Homo-oligomer: A and B are copies of this chain.
């Protein structure tokens, strides 16, 4: 991930580097507000993601200090994912962006529609 750790020009590209995987926004969204989810639950909350991509993104988010991974050594195995404080703050910071997209959703969809045609 994360290309060459080149010095970030502004905070924004650092943030994009952290949150810029195909499913990461969805993962953060699924874990919002103190939610704690198991691997399987998370998979169901992020429709279409493969196990490979889910675990890969989770590992990256964990390495970046965004998600916390708690392993319970039981049978059957149980692993729970939640947001760290830094992750919660990120989610909060993402709020206005989600609101923006919601507000302009019609235009976004129209634009995407046009470029398939």
Asked if A112 is an interface residue, CB under 8 A from chain B, the answer is yes
Question: A14 is contacted by which of B19, B92, B101 (Cβ under 8 Å)?
Answer: B101
What DSSP secondary structure best describes chain A's contact surface? helix
- Distance of A82 Cα from B19 Cα, bound (Å): 26
A-B contacts, 15 listed (Cβ < 8 Å): A5-B112, A5-B113, A9-B26, A9-B29, A9-B46, A10-B25, A10-B26, A12-B28, A14-B101, A16-B20, A17-B112, A18-B108, A63-B114, A65-B108, A96-B97
Interface positions of A (Cβ within 8 A of B) = 1-2, 4-6, 8-20, 25-26, 28-29, 46-48, 63-65, 86, 89-90, 92-105, 107-109, 111-116
